[in-house]
Structure 1
Amino acid sequence: MSRLRDGWGRYRDRRKGTKYPDSGVTSLSAQEVRAALLALNGTGLSRRWSRGPYVGRQWTYEKGPDGHRHKVVRFDSRHMRDPLRNTVLEAGWTWRGVLRL
């Protein structure tokens, strides 16, 4: 039964995007992780101050239900998520993903 539970847990982790630090990485304290995350702001992590964090975006014009063209904007949050995830993993912490549909 425990093997089944372990298999289900690994499946759920993979589906959610949960990542674990490499073995042998020493966990940093919460204050050290916080400082490392805040330090990302000055490392080329793109930000636009007028509208908040910059995430890759693209737009198209599509015909709406009313027959008029509407601007449809799609965002890609990987530009923000990947550096955060990498910093957390390098600090020896687990990155808990969210279920992606």
Structure 2
Amino acid sequence: MGRFRDWWTGTRYPEAGIAPMTRAHVRSALLALDDPDKPWRVRAGQSGADVLAEWHMIEPAWGSGRNREQTERRFKFVLRLDESAREARVCAHVHEVTRTGKNLRWVAEKKVGRGPRTRVWSKKFHWEKDAEGRRQRVYSVDFDSNYMRDPMQKVVLGSGWTWRGVHRL
């Protein structure tokens, strides 16, 4: 059950031989990930959380009249650092709203999720011509929660702490 639970919660352990750092060191290293060039922000948490990382994205509206549509996504990681167990407890939250209508007033779809293995990504494509002049579809990923998760997980594991996914903090 232990390995299955670790897989289910997305728990990762540090490599053997890494000396665990202090809580203050881990917290400051996580807060140092905040960079104005990145689309997501890392800041000190509130109400029991030590660190909060958040990515807020509003896609451009497309369509016209009643068919006009716009999607807003908010993804965040809430981390609580437990120094006695040397682990970062992480819960992911996702909130996605699609609005429609001429003035984007009506909510057409709403998705809310929380948990350790929550992942969100958005994949788009456009058409380009290849070397022979044929049209081909080219994909691009413009939103992936792993862009935010991977650097944070690297900091926690590099500090000798465990990354433990939880359903509630």
Unaligned runs of 5+ in 1: 1-7, 62-66
- Structure 1 vs Structure 2: percent identity of aligned residues? 39
Higher strand share: 2
Q: CA offset at residue 81 of structure 1? A: 1.2
Residue 167 (structure 2) pairs with residue 89 (structure 1): no
What corresponds to 1:3 in structure 2? Answer: none
Question: Do the aligned partners of 1:56 and 1:76 also contact (CA within 8 Å) in 2?
Answer: no
Alignment partner of 2:5: what SS? helix
Please list, as runs of the form range in 1=range in 2, the aligned pairs for 1:58-69 lying within 5 A after superposition: 68=67
TM-score (structure 2 length as normaliser): 0.40
Alpha-carbon displacement from aligned partner over 1:72-95 (angstroms, at most 9, x marks no partner)? 455532111111111000000000
Q: Where does 1:1-101 land on structure 2 (aligned, <5 Å)?
A: 8-42=1-35, 46-47=38-39, 53-54=54-55, 68=67, 70-72=69-71, 74=122, 76-98=144-166
When normalised by structure 1's length, the TM-score is 0.62
Q: Considering fraction of residues, name the structure with more helix.
A: 1
Classify the secondary structure of the residue corresponding to 1:26. coil
Deviations 1:44-72 (A, max 9, x none): 771367xx9446887897xxxxx956434
Distance in 2 separating the partners of 1:78 and 1:58: 19
Q: Is 1:55–1:80's contact at 8 Å kept on the other side of the alignment? A: no
Greater relative contact order structure (CA < 8 Å, 6+ sep)? 1
- Gap runs ≥5 in structure 2: 42-52, 73-121, 123-142
Q: Which SS does the other structure have where 2:165 is aligned?
A: coil
Mapped to 2, the partners of 1:26 and 1:38 lie a distance apart of: 21
Distance between the aligned counterparts of 1:48 and 1:80, measured in 2? 7
Asked if structure 1 preserves the Cα contact closer than 8 Å seen for 2:58 and 2:70, the reply is no
Cα distance in 1 for residues equivalent to 2:37 and 2:17 = 28
In structure 2, relative to structure 1, the CA distance for the partners of 1:69 and 1:55 (3 Å cut) is closer
